[in-house]
Amino acid sequence: MKALRAALQQRLSGNEKLEDVRDARPEIRSALERAEHFLGLAALTAAILAGAAIALAARRFVLRHLDGCAVMRCLGAQQAQVLWLFLYQFILLGVIAVLFGGLLGYATQAALVESIASMRDASLPQPGVMPLLKAALSGFALLIGFAFLPLLQLRKVSPLRVLRRELGLPEASGWLIYSVALLVLVGLFLWHAGSLKLGMAMLGGLLAGLLCFTGLAWLMLRGLARYALQSGNHWRHAFANLARHGRTNALQIVALSLGGMALLLLTLVRADLLASWQGKLPPDTPNRFLVNIQPDQTRAVLDFFAQQGLPAPQLQPMVRGRLVEINGRAINGDSYPEPRARGLVEREFNLSYMQQMPTWNELVGGQWWAANGSGELSVEEGIAKTLDIHLGDTLTYDVAGSRFSAHVTSLRKVQWDSMKVNFFVITTPALLKDFSASYLTSFYLPPDKVSAGDQLARRFSNLLIIDTEAVLTQVRNIMDQIAQTISAVFLFTLLSGLAVLYAALLATQDERSHEAAILRTLGADSGYLRRLHLLEFAVLGGLSGLFAAGGSVLLGWVLARLVLEIPYQANPAIWLVGVCGGVIVVLLAGWLGTRRLVTLPPLAILRE
């Protein structure tokens, strides 16, 4: 698309302008931008979960290959040889994973196109190789960023480990490992988020959340261990064991909570967000615009709506004016190289005046004027950025040969997809009350009242009635398609979440095996070990479920505010489902992984 646009742009004459879907009405453009951001964040969430799963799996892989590396070092293998041996294995696994993932992605894309009628009828071209290359680059970045540095530890394994088994994993720079992983995430966030502000906000929230949850998990485990001193033997032993490996268990809780967060996002939060977003266009969304109402017609128009049994619309005054100066500096189309800014300056603006800000606008900078305000302007934030207008600037407009100047005292965010009357610039009533104005409004015309629109046009022949039903239908279709697409994309996020859950549960399995062998040697029976393991898994599951619920609520709020721009009301069931689900899932998975440990002889466990 970019190549085609660039090629066509060179063939345009001076009086021609090229437009695509991104130059469409603000309602459609806004829906597409939110879809891109939503899908980008879904991809980022999957990347985070995949990185966590890789890090957990790499750590367990390193621990399980210490003996093999020690033997190879005894047989004369150099450090570089050991490193490259395992690095080749990981690269080979990465290539296989990329090929399998690419085939799965192309198959999913084909199935998705076939499942959506509008996409199927559009005869979309087949996807090229570039998406596969981008996916491969992202995958290998995660693999290298989260697995390469742990592999470096294997090359430093001492040959003495063959005789001295207490020699564990060689020390490594934790800051170096975390810094490389962080750099990889930063690069992927800025690449896939589609918005620098959104990507940095998501990354900052992720890091803050991980640090906060890790600290809270460690403190909770320490607190439970102190409380357990007054409890029974099983509770005291279980909590003391959790606190003894506080750092490892805290990281495991955070990893489990990441997987649980993905599951909650896929189910409860995603459904709530999409329902709220689609609810932004209720059935009674305005589908007609009425333009060019003269001042002496306002009462007659309102009476007509009352006679037809239609709600009275809110008439907004409109004055046509051209922006000619910013801070006393004359401007014209040549003042801006960007085509959209040039087009805005070369045409007249629709100015309006009102005392109260429209309820469907949001103040994002400055302050709205007081009841006795005069000489103040409120500018839509998008056009302010395009024309380089800031709070405190003085703008001068030319209205039918007469000029007026005023200061910008506020910036607004406009909900273009509300289908209500919106203005780039609003002034205080005192500024425009002496200028000739016409009125416009938007209203909902039910299907059974279509004839009322024809009667309105015949009774007021000067009025312009704009039917936006087609635009509304298109926006709703886009929302429906996005909802289906997001459901498909989040399935991969679900798979990443399950991978994290599995890797987190396996991360401490070897340690639990050795502890079980020692306890069996000291006289613990199978029932005691079983109760001990179940208590530990219940605590880990409950804490991870609690953090998963908290993380999903926070991420849902970010998606609602920064992506879909809707109010977010957290579903109370998230907390119950998160905690109970965490306990059940971790208990079941933990029991399946450790059930044989309580029956095997200690010597058999230690010889594995």
Mean pLDDT (whole number) for 80-99: 84
Q: Which residues pair with 410 in a beta bridge?
A: 366, 378
157, 64: one domain:
yes
- Whether 588 is in a domain gets the answer yes
328, 429: one domain:
yes
* Cβ-based burial of 431 (10 A; exposed 0-12, middle 13-18, buried ≥19): buried
549, 433: one domain:
no
- Residue 352 parent element (H or E): strand 349-353
**Which of 422, 419, 393, 421 minimizes the C-alpha distance to 405?**
393
What percentage of the chain exceeds 90 in pLDDT? 9
* Cβ-based burial of 414 (10 A; exposed 0-12, middle 13-18, buried ≥19): buried
Strands 349-353, 464-467: parallel, antiparallel or unpaired by DSSP? unpaired
Say whether pLDDT at 433 is over 90. no
The per-residue pLDDT for 425 is 92
pLDDT tens string 455-503: 888 888 888 888 877 777 776 777 677 666 666 666 666 666 666 666 6
Tell me which of 339 and 324 has the higher pLDDT: 324
Q: Which residues pair with 404 in a beta bridge?
A: 397
**Which of 262, 230, 214 minimizes the C-alpha distance to 45?**
262
Tell me which of 391 and 116 has the higher pLDDT: 391
Of these ranges, 195-204, 265-274, 484-493, 569-578, the one predicted with the greatest mean pLDDT is 569-578
Mean pLDDT (whole number) for 214-226: 76
Q: How far is CA 60 from CA 246, 251, 531, in A?
A: 18, 14, 25
- Whether 171 is in a domain gets the answer yes
Q: Given the structure tokens 């320490």, which residue do they identify? A: 222
261, 353: one domain:
no
pLDDT tens string 284-304: 788 888 999 998 999 999 999
375, 272: one domain:
no
Rounded Cα distance between 503 and 493, Å, is 15
158, 259: one domain:
yes
**Amino acid in the structure at residue 434:** D
Q: How far apart are the first and last CA of the chain?
A: 58
Mean pLDDT (whole number) for 308-333: 89
Give the Cβ contact number of residue 321 at 10 Å. Answer: 22
Say whether pLDDT at 450 is over 80. yes
Spell out the alpha helix ranges (H) of 330-380: 339-346
Beta strands in 382-435 (DSSP E): 394-399, 402-414, 425-427
119, 261: one domain:
yes
129, 243: one domain:
yes
Final residue of a structural domain among 443, 462, 494:
443
Final residue of a structural domain among 421, 443, 465:
443
Mean pLDDT (whole number) for 541-562: 79
Rounded Cα distance between 583 and 581, Å, is 5
Rounded Cα distance between 63 and 114, Å, is 46
Tell me which of 358 and 80 has the higher pLDDT: 358
What percentage of the chain exceeds 70 in pLDDT? 66
Final residue of a structural domain among 443, 465, 500:
443
The per-residue pLDDT for 270 is 62
Residue 97 half-sphere exposure, CB side, CA atoms within 13 Å? 16
Tell me which of 117 and 540 has the higher pLDDT: 540
Spell out the alpha helix ranges (H) of 116-173: 117-121, 130-143, 149-154
The per-residue pLDDT for 351 is 92
Mean pLDDT (whole number) for 28-36: 67
**Mean pLDDT, all residues of the chain:** 76
Mean pLDDT (whole number) for 317-325: 91
* Cβ-based burial of 491 (10 A; exposed 0-12, middle 13-18, buried ≥19): middle
Strands 464-467, 438-443: parallel, antiparallel or unpaired by DSSP? unpaired
The per-residue pLDDT for 347 is 84
Rounded Cα distance between 567 and 561, Å, is 7
Of the pLDDT bands very low, low, confident and very high (cuts 50, 70, 90), residue 165 is low
- Whether 505 is in a domain gets the answer yes
Of the pLDDT bands very low, low, confident and very high (cuts 50, 70, 90), residue 135 is confident
- Whether 11 is in a domain gets the answer no
275, 341: one domain:
no
Give the Cβ contact number of residue 358 at 10 Å. Answer: 19
Per the structure, how many domains does the chain have? 2
Q: Give the domain extent around 46.
A: 21-281+474-607
- CA 561 from chain centre, in angstroms, equals 10
The per-residue pLDDT for 393 is 92
Mean pLDDT (whole number) for 43-51: 74
Q: Given the structure tokens 């679900």, which residue do they identify? A: 494
Asked if 172 contacts 152 with a C-beta cutoff of 8 angstroms, the reply is yes
Of these ranges, 119-128, 420-429, 511-520, 556-565, the one predicted with the greatest mean pLDDT is 420-429
pLDDT tens string 147-163: 777 777 777 777 766 55
Rg of the chain in Å (alpha carbons) = 32
Q: Given the structure tokens 């312009």, which residue do they identify? A: 464
Q: How far is CA 179 from CA 56, 158, 185, 229, 250, in A?
A: 17, 26, 10, 39, 20
pLDDT tens string 368-422: 998 777 789 999 998 898 898 999 999 999 988 888 899 999 999 887 767 788 8
- Whether 3 is in a domain gets the answer no
- Whether 335 is in a domain gets the answer yes
- Describe the crossing of helices 509-521 and 469-507 by its angle, rounded to 10 degrees: 30
pLDDT tens string 495-537: 666 666 666 666 666 666 666 666 666 666 666 777 777 777 7
423, 524: one domain:
no
403, 328: one domain:
yes
Say whether pLDDT at 119 is over 70. no
- Whether 378 is in a domain gets the answer yes
Say whether pLDDT at 108 is over 60. yes
Rounded Cα distance between 386 and 326, Å, is 13
The per-residue pLDDT for 518 is 67
370, 426: one domain:
yes
Residues counted in the chain: 608
- Whether 35 is in a domain gets the answer yes
The per-residue pLDDT for 412 is 93
